[in-house]
Structure 1
């Protein structure tokens, strides 16, 4: 079991691809949240999510066995390890979950699409972060569909 949430922090002025946001991952063995830390672990969320999708794509396709994911402009880190049973996730050496590949892909896709639907429309049309996010999301969506078959 896994639940992911990506969010944009309020009150940052005009929306920008550099806006700060947070990541929350909850599994059956634990959780990781970028909120409430000192120093702050918020991240440039519109740049971080595509980086995560790209890195996870390499894990899901079997090109890499490990991903030490650190968001953009943060020290927040989540470790992914591909094993015979799927993928294990941990943060700060604490297990979050062990999950099947297809379930992980679907959960990450769902969270990335939710952020895209709720917040990307507020970014300027020519914002490079917006187009990169959408392109990476489309690639990840195709990968998720191929894994789920």
Structure 2
């Protein structure tokens, strides 16, 4: 996973300790926690990649959503911009790799459900 903002970058690639993650489970979790934040159910949330030490913190501010990692602040994005960017990346992952999972795999079903719910929230912003 790579996150880039106007003042910083966070990546799970090549880190020590290893920050590789179970990507479909992790992105499903990311979509769920961001959906709650974007809907105003929470003002701050933390994402931790599944089976990883990679973390991001998202905080609602007057200026938008602040994103930080262990290395520091990445930047601030509007709710709509963050939602659109995350949706685009999640759609790309689904388009390029989701078919590799068996058709009736629970992970595939969970990912698809989370993606559809997130898409609905993103379009409402």
**Aligned mates of 2:118, 2:18 — CA distance in 1:** 29
Greater share of strand residues, 1 or 2? 1
Matched, 1:27 2:11: no
Matched, 1:94 2:46: no
Shift of 1:39: 1.6
Does the aligned pair in 1 maintain the 2:28–2:110 contact within 8 Å?
yes
Runs of 4+ in 1 over 4 A off after TM superposition: none
**Aligned mates of 2:30, 2:51 — CA distance in 1:** 14
1:121 to 99, 103, 107: 99
1:60 to 19, 26, 38: 38
Q: Which residue of 2 aligns with 1:134?
A: 112
**Aligned mates of 1:37, 1:122 — CA distance in 2:** 26
Aligned residues: 125
Structure-1-length-normalised TM-score: 0.82
1:83-116 Cα deviation digits (max 9, x unpaired): 1111000111511011100000000000000000
Structure-2-length-normalised TM-score: 0.97
**Aligned mates of 2:114, 2:15 — CA distance in 1:** 29
Q: Which residue of 1 aligns with 2:122?
A: 144
**Aligned mates of 1:93, 1:72 — CA distance in 2:** 19
Structure 2 segments unaligned to the other structure (5+ residues): none
**Aligned mates of 2:69, 2:121 — CA distance in 1:** 25
